[in-house]
């Protein structure tokens, strides 16, 4: 991944507490793929889910081909952020992968957290002689090409463009996992209150999101009733210095 693509993703991680999705622009290398850039997708998001507008993306692919000669397969890398999560796909992520990209013969999933931790894999469809078509997932690694001299540095113009695209394409629901009141509940009351809130919030997606949160907390020995314990895996909450380094404009001004 080029440094500029990486900084764009990190900027998105710090721009909003919601998950945000992009599609990576791939170019083939000798033994790997290079992610040259990322293209923001029109979407509705919250802190725990992403709803992609795939009709909009189909039109965008045509535009990329006509204007930049980017082939459709070159944008088959789904990249999204987990600003307050861990570097593993949730049940909702897996559902999105099946429903939005399951028919593709080649698709990449990449997740980036605020701490700079990646999750990456390649999903491939392979036909067998008996007519069976199976999908395989291949774990992958991300390397940032810090010595890539052909890339221009991030500029004020880039940051302004990223902000404009974000405002135009990303619709945030405003829902927060920690606005449900779980953070102040005793551990033994969490499950009953969580189930009771499903009818109150009236959101089917919320049920899966809560289950993902509790499952991850249990897996890593964290207390679901204490959001701060998330830092045991997440690592840290960004300080103003981190935001300045990453070019978050509202926090510390633009950087070159």
Strand segments, DSSP code E, in 130-207 are 133-139, 170-172
Q: How many residues does the chain have?
A: 256
| Inter-residue contact 26 to 76 (CB < 8 Å) | yes
Q: What are the contacts of 178-187 at 24+ separation with CB within 8 A?
A: 178/227, 180/210, 182/224, 182/225, 182/227, 183/225, 183/226, 183/227, 184/225, 185/225, 186/225, 187/223, 187/224, 187/225
Question: For residue 254, what pLDDT is reported?
Answer: 35
| Inter-residue contact 38 to 144 (CB < 8 Å) | no
Question: For residue 68, what pLDDT is reported?
Answer: 92
Question: For residue 106, what pLDDT is reported?
Answer: 85
Question: For residue 132, what pLDDT is reported?
Answer: 79
Question: For residue 32, what pLDDT is reported?
Answer: 85
For every residue of 175-189, DSSP letters joined together read --GGGSSGGGS-HHH
Strand segments, DSSP code E, in 58-179 are 77-82, 106-113, 118-127, 133-139, 170-172
Q: Which residues pair with 139 in a beta bridge?
A: 121
CA proximity to 11, closest of 168, 256, 253, 245: 245
Q: Between 204-219 and 91-101, two packed helices, what is the crossing angle to 10 degrees? A: 130
The CA R_g of the chain, rounded to the nearest whole Å, is 19
pLDDT in tens, the chain (256 residues): 999 999 999 999 999 888 999 999 998 887 788 999 999 999 998 877 778 898 999 999 999 999 999 988 898 899 999 887 788 888 888 888 888 887 778 889 999 998 889 999 999 887 788 777 788 889 999 999 988 776 777 889 999 999 999 999 999 875 444 443 334 344 444 445 444 443 444 455 455 556 666 766 676 666 666 655 555 444 444 444 444 444 444 433 333 3
The sheet with strand 43-45 has its strands ordered as: 50-52, 43-45, 170-172
pTM of the predicted protein model = 0.68
Question: For residue 236, what pLDDT is reported?
Answer: 40
How far, in Å, CA of 109 to CA of 46, rounded?
A: 19
User: What value, to the nearest 5°, has the Cα angle with vertex 109 and ends 27 and 85?
Assistant: 130
Question: For residue 150, what pLDDT is reported?
Answer: 66
Q: In sequence order, which residues have a C-beta less than 8 Å from that of residue 7 and are 6 or more positions away?
A: 154, 246, 247
Total Cβ atoms within 10 A of residue 118: 18
Please give the domain boundaries of the chain with CATH numbers for all domains: 3-172 (3.40.140.10), 177-234 (no CATH)
CA proximity to 63, closest of 52, 80, 75, 51: 75
């Amino acid at each position: 991944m080029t440094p500029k693509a990486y900084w764009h993703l990190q900027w998105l991680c710090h721009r909003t507490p919601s998950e945000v999705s992009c599609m990576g622009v791939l170019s083939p290398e000798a033994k790997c793929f290079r992610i040259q850039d990322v293209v923001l997708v029109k979407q509705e998001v919250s802190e725990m889910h992403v709803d992609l507008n795939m009709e909009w993306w189909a039109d965008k692919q045509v535009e990329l081909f006509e204007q930049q000669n980017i082939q459709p397969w070159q944008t088959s890398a789904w990249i999204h952020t987990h600003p307050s999560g861990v570097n593993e796909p949730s049940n909702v992520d897996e559902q999105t992968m099946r429903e939005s990209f399951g028919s593709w013969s080649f698709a990449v999933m990449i997740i980036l957290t605020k701490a700079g931790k990646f999750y990456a894999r390649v999903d491939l469809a392979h036909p067998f002689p008996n007519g069976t078509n199976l999908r395989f997932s291949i774990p992958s690694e991300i390397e940032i090409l810090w010595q890539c001299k052909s890339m221009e540095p991030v500029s004020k113009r880039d940051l302004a463009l990223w902000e404009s695209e974000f405002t135009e394409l990303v619709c945030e629901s405003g829902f927060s996992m920690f606005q449900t009141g779980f953070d102040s509940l005793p551990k033994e009351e969490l499950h009953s209150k969580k189930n009771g809130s499903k009818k109150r919030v009236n959101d089917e997606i919320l049920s899966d999101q809560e289950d993902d949160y509790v499952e991850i907390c249990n897996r890593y020995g964290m207390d679901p009733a204490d959001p701060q314990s998330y830092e045991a895996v997440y690592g840290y909450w960004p300080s103003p210095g981190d935001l300045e380094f990453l070019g978050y404009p509202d926090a510390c001004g633009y950087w070159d």
